[in-house]
Amino acid sequence: MSAAPVELPRWADIALVPLVSVVAALLVAGLVVIGIGENPLEATALLLRGALGSAEGIGFTLYYATNFIFTGLAVAVAFHAGLFNIGGEGQATVAGIAMAIACFALPTLPGFLAAPFAILGAAAGGAFWAFIPGWLQAKRGSHVVITTIMLNFVAATLIVYLLREVIGKPGSMQPETPDFPASAILTPMHQLLAPLGLKLPSTPLNSAFFLALMALAAVWLLIWRTRLGYAIRTVGANPRAAAYAGISPAAVTMVAMAISGALAGGLAVNEALGVQHRLVLDFTAGYGFVGIAVALMGRGHPAGVGLAALLFGVLYQGGAELSFDKPAITRDMVVVIGGVLVLFAGALDGLFRRLVAVVLGMGRTP
Partner 1 sequence: MSSEPAIALTGISKRFGPVAANRDVSLSVAAGSIHGIVGENGAGKSTLMSILYGFYEADAGEIRIAGEPRRIRSPADAIAAGIGMVHQHFMLVETLSVVENVVLGAEGGAFLKRGVAKARAALAKLSGDYGLAIDPDAIVGELSVGLQQRVEILKALYRGAEILILDEPTAVLTPAEADQLFALLRALKAQGKTVILITHKLREIMDVTDRVSVMRRGEMVAHVATAETSPPALAEAMVGRRVLLRVEKQPRERGAPVLEAVGLSCRDGRGTETLKDVNLTLHEGEIVGIAGVAGNGQSELLEVLAGLIQPSRGVIRLGGQILATADRHPARLRDLGLMHIPEDRHRSGLVTAFSAAENAILGYQHDPAFGSGPLLSPARIEAHAREAFAAYDVRPPDPALKTAKFSGGNQQKIVLAREIERGPKVLLVGQPTRGVDIGAIEFIHRRLVALRDQGVAILLVSVELEEVMALSDRIIAMCGGRITGERVAEQADERDLGLLMAGVTDEAA
CA-to-CA distance for 117 and 103, rounded, in angstroms? 8
- Per rule CB under 8 A, count of chain residues that contact partner 1: 25
By CB under 8 A, residue 303 contacts partner 1: no
Region from 22-30, 148-156, 219-227, 301-309 binding partner 1, contact rule CB under 8 A: 219-227
CA-to-CA distance for 204 and 323, rounded, in angstroms? 20
By CB under 8 A, residue 246 contacts partner 1: yes
By CB under 8 A, residue 48 contacts partner 1: no
Contacts (Cβ under 8 Å, ≥6 apart) of 10: none
By CB under 8 A, residue 196 contacts partner 1: no
By CB under 8 A, residue 364 contacts partner 1: yes
CA-to-CA distance for 324 and 298, rounded, in angstroms? 29
CA-to-CA distance for 122 and 273, rounded, in angstroms? 10
Beta carbon nearer to partner 1, 146 or 241? 241
Three-class HEC string of 48-109 = HHHHHCCHHHHHHHHHHHHHHHHHHHHHHHHHHCCCCCCCHHHHHHHHHHHHHHHHHHCCCC
By CB under 8 A, residue 241 contacts partner 1: yes
By CB under 8 A, residue 220 contacts partner 1: no
Cα dihedral 49, 54, 56, 60 sign: positive
CA-to-CA distance for 77 and 298, rounded, in angstroms? 12
Region from 91-99, 147-155, 229-237, 267-275 binding partner 1, contact rule CB under 8 A: 229-237
Region from 171-179, 183-191, 243-251, 304-312 binding partner 1, contact rule CB under 8 A: 243-251
CB of 212 to partner 1, least distance (A): 23
Question: For partner 1, which residue of 153, 198, 226, 324 counts as binding (CB under 8 A)?
Answer: 226
CB of 231 to partner 1, least distance (A): 7
Beta carbon nearer to partner 1, 243 or 320? 243
